[in-house]
């Protein structure tokens, strides 16, 4: 099981400038490499304090110059926001710059304010996503693209700039309930990427099951297929520290829920925290999430390994405005006190 670090670059306190969040994110990426993590993931978000990174490829290119071994993942590129031909050119360029360390994570997006701010009708998100993904498939398969769709029209075009990797990994987030997309994931050999947060392992296994069935139908071996999950993780022995982390996890949950529902209220670039029906309590988060001492986190991850068998585990460790020192300490403790009890992360393979 590979171990990754997911970096949302969230701002909570108005006294913390965005530039500081970005600098500390880079520091955390460098630390992740030093601790032996396999991948660092950079999110894409726009026009709100949920995340400060508008371009995960730009961040990956910068991180490529600050690191030497760790893989650099886009978590995720929101395909409806891009001209797909420009995107595939930039994907190839970042893979070359990084020495073949790019992992391309893609998704369709769900935050209404982002679509509005970028002038893309959210009703077209799924159709635009599918066409852009078609172009990505064609570009990764060969050096010539020709495509005609509703939103994308590409005349025969050669791509002299190619990724360094002969098979660039593609992770797909969201759309797990869409049978057509599940079938496409199986057929194309993508890796499904599920944000599991504090879902029980059995519930995550139920999400995986249709992907395994689709792999079998496509003639692939289902049980060994790639499946990535993301878990919110914070390592601490202190109960007050754990409670504070759970409150910050609840803050993040509420912000995301409001933005996805289109009900989030803005005060400048900040989304106001509002309770929603069905929100967990802090105590419920503490009972379910991977927040607490190392032995608790080991036990919960062993449940994942037994019931889900993920090929990749992405750790969401910097959330809700946690300061950099606390995040770095939690990362160090995970590497020292949790990781040795799990299967060691796979080494980065040279392609």
- The residue extents of the domains of the chain are 2-341
Are 333 and 235 in contact by the 8 Å Cβ rule? The answer is yes
Q: What is the pTM of this model?
A: 0.95
pLDDT at residue 222, as a whole number: 65
Per-residue pLDDT of the chain (351 residues; tens, 9 = 90+): 999 999 999 999 999 999 999 999 999 999 999 999 999 999 999 999 999 999 999 999 999 999 999 999 999 999 999 999 999 999 999 999 999 999 999 999 999 999 999 999 999 999 999 999 999 999 999 999 999 999 999 999 999 999 999 999 999 999 899 999 999 999 999 999 999 999 999 999 999 999 999 999 988 876 668 999 999 999 999 999 999 999 999 999 999 999 999 999 999 999 999 999 999 999 999 999 999 999 999 999 999 999 999 999 999 999 999 999 999 999 999 999 999 999 644 433 333
Q: How far apart are CA 94 and CA 104, in angstroms?
A: 10
- Res 230: pLDDT: 98
Report the pLDDT value the prediction gives residue 223, as an integer from 0 to 100. 63
DSSP assignment of 182-215 equals HHHHHHHT-EEEEEEET--HHHHHHHHHHHHHHH
What pLDDT does residue 135 have? 98
Enter the tokens of residue 48: 């709100």
Asked if 131 contacts 149 with a C-beta cutoff of 8 angstroms, the reply is: yes
**pLDDT score for 107:** 98
User: Rounded distance, CA 304 to CA 229, Å?
Assistant: 9
Q: Can you state the angle between helices 56-66 and 18-34, rounded to 10 degrees?
A: 50
The helix (run of H) or strand (run of E) holding residue 250 is helix 239-261
Which pLDDT score, from 0 to 100, does residue 221 have?
Answer: 75
Which CATH number is 2-341 given?
3.20.20.30
Q: What integer pLDDT is reported at residue 346 of this predicted model?
A: 40
CA distance 192 to 185: 7
The predicted pLDDT at position 347 comes to 39
pLDDT of residue 206: 97
Q: Are 63 and 23 in contact (CB under 8 A)?
A: no
Looking at residue 225, its pLDDT comes to 81
């Amino acid at each position: 099981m590979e171990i990754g670090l997911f970096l949302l670059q969230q701002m909570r306190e108005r006294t913390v400038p965005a530039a500081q969040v970005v600098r500390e994110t880079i520091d955390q990426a460098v630390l992740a490499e030093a601790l032996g993590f396999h991948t660092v993931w950079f999110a894409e978000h726009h026009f709100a304090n949920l995340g400060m990174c508008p371009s995960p490829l730009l961040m990956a290119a910068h991180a490529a110059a600050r690191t030497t071994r760790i893989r650099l993942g886009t978590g995720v590129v929101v395909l409806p926001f891009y001209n797909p031909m420009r995107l595939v050119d930039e994907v190839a360029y970042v893979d070359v710059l990084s020495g073949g360390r790019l992992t391309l994570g893609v998704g369709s997006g769900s935050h209404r304010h982002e679509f509005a701010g970028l002038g893309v009708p959210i009703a077209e998100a799924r159709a635009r996503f599918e066409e852009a993904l078609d172009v990505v498939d064609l570009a990764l398969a060969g050096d010539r693209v020709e495509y005609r769709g509703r939103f994308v029209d590409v005349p025969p075009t050669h791509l002299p700039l190619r990724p360094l990797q002969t098979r660039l990994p593609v992770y797909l987030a969201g759309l797990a309930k869409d049978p057509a997309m599940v079938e496409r994931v199986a057929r194309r050999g993508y890796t499904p990427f599920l944000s599991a947060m504090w879902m029980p392992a059995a519930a995550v296994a139920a999400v995986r099951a249709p992907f395994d069935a689709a792999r079998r139908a496509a003639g692939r071996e289902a049980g060994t297929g790639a499946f990535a999950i993301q878990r919110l993780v914070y390592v601490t022995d202190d109960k007050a520290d754990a409670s504070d982390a759970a409150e910050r996890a609840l803050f993040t949950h509420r912000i995301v829920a409001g933005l996805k529902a289109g009900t989030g209220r803005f005060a400048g670039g900040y989304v106001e925290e509002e309770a929603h029906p069905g929100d967990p309590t802090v105590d419920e988060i503490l009972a379910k999430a991977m927040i607490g001492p190392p032995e608790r986190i080991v036990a919960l991850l062993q449940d994942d390994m037994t019931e889900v068998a993920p090929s990749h585990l992405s750790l969401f460790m910097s959330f809700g405005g946690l300061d950099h020192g606390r995040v770095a300490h939690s990362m160090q403790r995970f590497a020292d006190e949790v990781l040795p009890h799990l299967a060691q992360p796979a080494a980065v393979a040279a392609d």
